[in-house]
Structure 1
Amino acid sequence: MQTKRTKRSRIRAAKPTGGHGHKKKNRGAGHRGGRGKSGSGKRGDFKIMKVTKGEKVLGKHGFTSLKKHIKAMNLSILQTEIESFVKRGEASKNKDAYEIDLSKLGYRKLLSKGDVSLKFHITVDSATENAVARVEEAGGKVTLLASSEEPEKADKE
């Protein structure tokens, strides 16, 4: 099947080098010293500088932390911000106690920093013992959601 060719490609086809300079230059990766970072031997720094333009180093670096980052809420912040939560509809006030579901707001844990003077009914995934004790001292209640802990292993007989 015939295809339409440009004048430039016809001229290139007529020349023995096809527009690649010397005949030997278009044979493979040998003219450029191999593909990628190969062929650098013990002095590979120059080739890396050429590829990255001297700005960054190729490859992976460092390590990935396996620590889980849990979003937490302190009692002191909850005490000061409860009115703004009520205004936004994220919490409600029933009689004399504030009800708030921290898990719906994206908080996974309740921490005990700060004093509590208001009654709270808090629903959260997990909480510290001190936080639960402080809320209960003020007349409130903390409801912990079912956590995904490993089931206890059965004793071998």
Structure 2
Amino acid sequence: MSDTLHLVCPHCHAVNRVASTRLGDAPNCGRCHNLLFTGEPLALDSANFDRHLTRSDLPLLVDFWADWCGPCKAMAPGFAKAAGELEPHLRLAKLDTEAATDIASRFGIRSIPTLILFRGGREIARQAGAMGQSDIVAWTRRQLATP
């Protein structure tokens, strides 16, 4: 990681610069003054997806889901708890594939839930199917440890 990271605010979507050594210090957004890390997954949509994907220096783990999907609903609590465990070293987000069909189509989402891990705006790993919190955390850490 570089000395300064760009982080997109989960509230106002402004890009902030934060020293990498201060990630664990509960940094605030320079524009809206809310916390940059909430310990919860961020809800993404077609309007803000690309900003979080391309303007943040942190890896981004996205849960592609839909409201009608039973396994998606079953995985949601574990995914939310994983956010509290994995932040501030990466951002966790959820994208409703029914509301953002353009994004789901762009990434070829064929089954849900599907987790996609991005780094530097590029997909580095994908996992289809529901997982529990510990499996989400372990899978994500394994993927990020791989060069």
What band does the TM-score fall into relative to the shorter chain? under 0.3
Larger RCO: 1 or 2 (CA < 8 Å, sep 6+): 2
Instruction: State the TM-score, normalizing by the size of structure 1.
Output: 0.22
- For the pair shown, the structure with the greater C-alpha radius of gyration is 1
